[in-house]
């Protein structure tokens, strides 16, 4: 926090999804050769895509833990199943189209946020099931290509590419999940008004996060911030009064970002 009682700075912001996406795609080295190899398997995968979608949710419903996450212990909720299949079909179509656009990064980030119970259904999907489901998608691709009778020298380089690509997707979903969860703990809510670049990037004018109280050493004067502006273009207001004793609002040194479309 800066010296002025009205000032608040945010440190350690996590990168924007599109920057992280490009950085990690570079890191795994997904190149034109990978894309060529992957594209040789797209037709076989596309052919079996509807079956993969149906199998995915049959499986999630058949496992008690994931059935509980989805509220499907007693069987499918047909409307929700239709919605999940529809969204998964869209995702799979984008995967098979080898989408590496910045917009896809935002989409994956938002999916991660939804898995953190920040979506319309407020369902918390433990990350272990998302991580391992990505593994199951890779396994389904390998099985499908094997069953299609494609030779090993087509399947192996293609699977190398798909694996790299899916791992970066998982990272973007993990990032969205982590950022959403970081907004949750704390003693009071802080509403930020976003301006300039932050507003454009986040696609919202206001954002609410939670923050905590920290005890101040006895000799330090008590400071009661009244609200103010965040360096770089946000305003904030807090929704609670401090507990008795010497307290100050913690600086928001969170790694979370408002990229929460
Ligand atoms: C391969 C791994 C996964 C991918 C790629 C994926 C993808 C997505 C996407 C793209 C969305 C956002 C849909 C939208 O735009 O509205 C979403 C939401 C959701 N996913 Fe996943 N998902 C995965 C794993 C799982 C698992 C394992 C579960 C449950 C056990 C799950 C449950 C949900 C639920 C319930 C929502 C909606 C949440 C809400 O509307 O509040 N997902 N997922």
pLDDT in tens, 5-59: 556 666 777 899 999 999 999 999 999 999 999 999 999 999 999 999 999 999 9
Q: Is 186 left (phi over 0), alpha (psi -120 to 50) or beta?
A: left
For ligand 1, say whether the CB of 30 is within 6 Å of any of its atoms.
Answer: no
The rounded distance, in Å, linking the Cα atoms of 146 and 13 is 44
For ligand 1, say whether the CB of 166 is within 6 Å of any of its atoms.
Answer: no
Same domain for 139 and 191?
A: no
For ligand 1, say whether the CB of 114 is within 6 Å of any of its atoms.
Answer: yes
Which residues make beta-bridge pairs with 191?
208, 237
The rounded distance, in Å, linking the Cα atoms of 28 and 12 is 24
Same domain for 46 and 95?
A: yes
In a domain, 53, yes or no: yes
Same domain for 243 and 178?
A: no
In a domain, 23, yes or no: no
pLDDT beyond 70 at 209: yes
Looking at residue 137, which CATH number applies to its domain?
1.10.490.10
Q: Whose CA is nearest to atom 22 of ligand 1?
A: 130
Atom of ligand 1 nearest to the CA of 118: 41
Distances (CA, A) of 218 to 144, 182, 215, 250: 66, 29, 9, 16
In a domain, 237, yes or no: yes
Q: Whose CA is nearest to atom 43 of ligand 1?
A: 111
Rounded to the nearest 10 degrees, the angle between the axes of helix 152-182 and helix 78-96 is 120
DSSP state of 219: T
In a domain, 150, yes or no: yes
Query: Number of folded domains in the chain?
Result: 2
Ligand 1 mean position, distance from CA 103 (Å): 17
Same domain for 78 and 199?
A: no
In a domain, 134, yes or no: yes
Q: Are residues 97 and 10 in contact, defined by beta-carbon separation less than 8 angstroms?
A: no
Give the pLDDT band of residue 214 (cuts 50, 70, 90): low
For ligand 1, say whether the CB of 125 is within 6 Å of any of its atoms.
Answer: yes
For ligand 1, say whether the CB of 115 is within 6 Å of any of its atoms.
Answer: yes
Same domain for 117 and 104?
A: yes
Ligand 1 mean position, distance from CA 25 (Å): 22
Mean of all residue pLDDT scores within the chain: 84
Q: What is the C-alpha end-to-end distance of the chain, expressed in Å? A: 27
The rounded distance, in Å, linking the Cα atoms of 110 and 180 is 9
Same domain for 64 and 146?
A: yes
Range of the domain at 227: 7-14+183-249
Same domain for 118 and 213?
A: no
Percentage of residues of the chain with pLDDT beyond 70: 77
Residue after which a domain boundary falls, among 182, 204, 236: 182
Same domain for 153 and 226?
A: no
In the three-class reduction of DSSP (H, G, I as helix; E, B as strand; rest coil), residue 77 is classed as coil
* Tokens linked to 148: 């299609």
Query: How many Cβ atoms are within 10 Å of 48's Cβ, its own excluded?
Result: 17
Q: 66, 88, 104, 115: which to mutate for ligand 1, most atoms within 8 A of CB?
A: 115
Q: Are residues 193 and 234 in contact, defined by beta-carbon separation less than 8 angstroms?
A: yes
pLDDT beyond 90 at 215: no
Ligand 1 mean position, distance from CA 193 (Å): 29
Kindly state the helix (H) or strand (E) to which residue 214 belongs, with its residue range: strand 213-215
Average pLDDT over residues 202-215: 75
Question: What is the value of pTM for the model shown?
Answer: 0.82
For ligand 1, say whether the CB of 127 is within 6 Å of any of its atoms.
Answer: no
Atom of ligand 1 nearest to the CA of 129: 27
For ligand 1, say whether the CB of 121 is within 6 Å of any of its atoms.
Answer: yes
CA atoms within 13 A on the CB side of 156: 3
Residue after which a domain boundary falls, among 157, 182, 207: 182
Same domain for 71 and 157?
A: yes
Same domain for 177 and 72?
A: yes
In a domain, 21, yes or no: no
Give which of 190, 166, 167, 174 is closest to 110, Cα–Cα. 174
In the three-class reduction of DSSP (H, G, I as helix; E, B as strand; rest coil), residue 98 is classed as coil
Q: Whose CA is nearest to atom 4 of ligand 1?
A: 130
In a domain, 26, yes or no: no
Same domain for 107 and 228?
A: no
Same domain for 173 and 198?
A: no
In a domain, 59, yes or no: yes
Residue after which a domain boundary falls, among 135, 162, 182: 182
């Amino acid at each position: 926090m800066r010296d002025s009682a009205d000032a608040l700075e945010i440190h350690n912001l996590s990168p924007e999804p599109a920057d992280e996406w490009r950085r990690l795609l570079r890191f795994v080295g997904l190149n034109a050769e990978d894309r060529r190899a992957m594209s040789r398997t797209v037709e076989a995968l596309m052919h079996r895509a509807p079956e993969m979608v149906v199998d995915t949710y049959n499986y999630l419903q058949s496992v008690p833990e994931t059935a509980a996450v989805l509220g499907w212990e007693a069987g499918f909720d047909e409307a929700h199943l239709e919605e999940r299949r529809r969204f998964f079909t869209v995702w799979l179509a984008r995967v098979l189209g080898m989408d590496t656009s910045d917009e896809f990064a935002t989409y994956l980030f938002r999916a991660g946020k939804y898995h953190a119970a920040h979506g319309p259904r407020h369902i918390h999907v433990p990350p272990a099931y998302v991580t391992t489901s990505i593994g199951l998608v890779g396994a389904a691709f390998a099985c499908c290509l094997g069953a299609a009778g494609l030779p090993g020298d087509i399947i192996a380089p293609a699977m190398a590419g798909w694996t790299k690509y899916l791992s970066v997707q998982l990272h973007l979903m993990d990032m969205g999940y982590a950022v959403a969860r970081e907004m949750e703990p704390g003693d009071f809510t802080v509403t930020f008004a976003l301006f300039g670049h932050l507003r454009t990037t986040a696609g919202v004018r206001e954002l609410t996060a939670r923050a905590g109280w920290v005890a101040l050493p006895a000799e330090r004067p008590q400071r009661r911030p009244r609200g103010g502006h965040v360096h770089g273009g946000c305003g904030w207001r807090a929704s609670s009064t401090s507990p008795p004793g010497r307290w100050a609002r913690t600086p928001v040194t969170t790694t979370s970002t408002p990229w929460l479309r």
